[in-house]
Homo-oligomer: A and B are copies of this chain.
C-alpha cells in the first residue's frame, strides 16, 4: 500500500505501535505538541521537533531568508507554548544546495537567532549537509517547565469552554494572497501573519502556571483538525459556533476576494500558531483579565461535550453544518 492511501495520522499510529516508547523517565511520549521527560524533582524537559521542506512548507519567492528563519523557529516555539513551557535550547539541521549564497544562510540563521533571543533560547548544535536542489530545515527545540504545570491535549473535560487566541484563518488568507499576487499584498497583515507568526509563549506559560487550561494545542493543522486532536485524545466531543469565531476587520474585508467561503480559511487553514485550549467555566473572568494583561485576544468559540469524538459546528443560524474537509494532508 502507498503512503498516500494511509495518511499522516494513521501513519503516526502505526509507527508508535511498532516502537518501544516506555521508560521510567518519560511522562509523555508521542502524541502531544512535545514529549515530556522527567527532570530534577518537579522539573521536566519538553522536546519538540519539526521538519520544513521547500515548496511543501515554504516558497523562497514568498518570503525572505530572515523571515523564513524566524518562522522555522516559531513553529517549534509554538509547540512549547502549547505545553505551557519556557523555551531553552534548539538544534538546527539544514540540507541546502552548494550553489546557495552564504548570505541566504546567514540571513536564515539571523532570523532564527532573532526569534530565539526574544524567548531566551540558545542554539546548541545541528548538522549542515548538501542537497541537490531544495532546502530542508529540521529543528529540535527543548523547553522546560514544572511537571505540575504541563498542559496536555488529552485532558479536556465535559463542559469546558473552548478558547482560541488571535484570529484563526488569517495565515491561510495570507497564503492565498501570496499565491494570487505576492507583490500587491506583501504588506497586508494576513501575509505578515503567514510569514512571521509570533508564538504565544508568554500566554501559554501564564495559562499553565495559573492552571487555567485543562487541555491545549497550537493551531498548526487548522482549527478543526487541531480541535479534533484534543477531543479524540480526551475522548470527548465538541460544539463550536461560527458566529463566535473572531474575525479581524481586515480579514472580513478581504477574505471573500480570495476564498468562496469566509469560514474555510478559519476552519481548515493551518499555520495560525495560535493557542486553542479548553478551560472550566468559572475561569472565564480570569481568562478575560489575562487576555487584557497580555494584549492577546482570547475568544470562547464553543464547549466540550460528552464522548462523541465529533465536532459539531453551528452556522450563523445555529444550524448544524456538514463538515467535509479536515485540514492539510501530507499524504
Known: A49-B126, A116-B20, A129-B56. A101 touches B25 (CB 8 A): no
Q: When each residue 106-127 of chain A gets 1 if its CB lies under 8 Å from chain B and 0 otherwise, what string results?
A: 1001101100110010111111
Residues of B within 8 A of A52 (CB): 129
**This chain: how many copies in the complex?**
2
Interface of A is mostly: mixed
Interface window among A6-14, A257-265, A297-305, A311-319? A6-14
Asked if B128 contacts A11 (CB within 8 A), the reply is yes
A280 within 8 A of B: no
A253 within 8 A of B: no
Bound-state CA distance A23–B147 (Å) is: 22
Chain A residues bordering chain B, tally (CB within 8 A): 80
A19 within 8 A of B: yes
Closest to A93 in B: B51
Q: Which residues of A in the span 80-111 have a Cβ within 8 Å of any Cβ on B?
A: 88-89, 91, 93-103, 105-106, 109-110
Residues of B within 8 A of A122 (CB): 19-23, 26, 29
Residues of B within 8 A of A6 (CB): 102
Residues of B within 8 A of A2 (CB): 98-102
Residues of B within 8 A of A19 (CB): 109, 112-113, 116, 122-123
Residues of B within 8 A of A120 (CB): 23
A142 within 8 A of B: yes
One of B20, B113, B331 near A18 (C-beta < 8 A):
B113
Q: How far is the CB of A135 from chain B (nearest CB, A)?
A: 11
What is A's interface to B at a CB cutoff of 8 Å? 1-6, 8, 11-12, 14-16, 18-23, 25-26, 29-30, 34-35, 37, 39-41, 45, 47-53, 55-57, 88-89, 91, 93-103, 105-106, 109-110, 112-113, 116-117, 120, 122-132, 134, 136, 138, 140, 142, 330-331
18 A-B contacts (beta carbon < 8 Å): A2-B100, A3-B97, A11-B128, A19-B113, A22-B122, A23-B120, A35-B89, A35-B124, A35-B125, A37-B124, A45-B45, A47-B140, A49-B138, A50-B93, A51-B127, A56-B95, A56-B129, A130-B330
- List the 8 closest A-B pairs by CB distance, nearest first: A4-B98, A40-B40, A138-B138, A51-B93, A35-B124, A19-B123, A140-B140, A130-B330
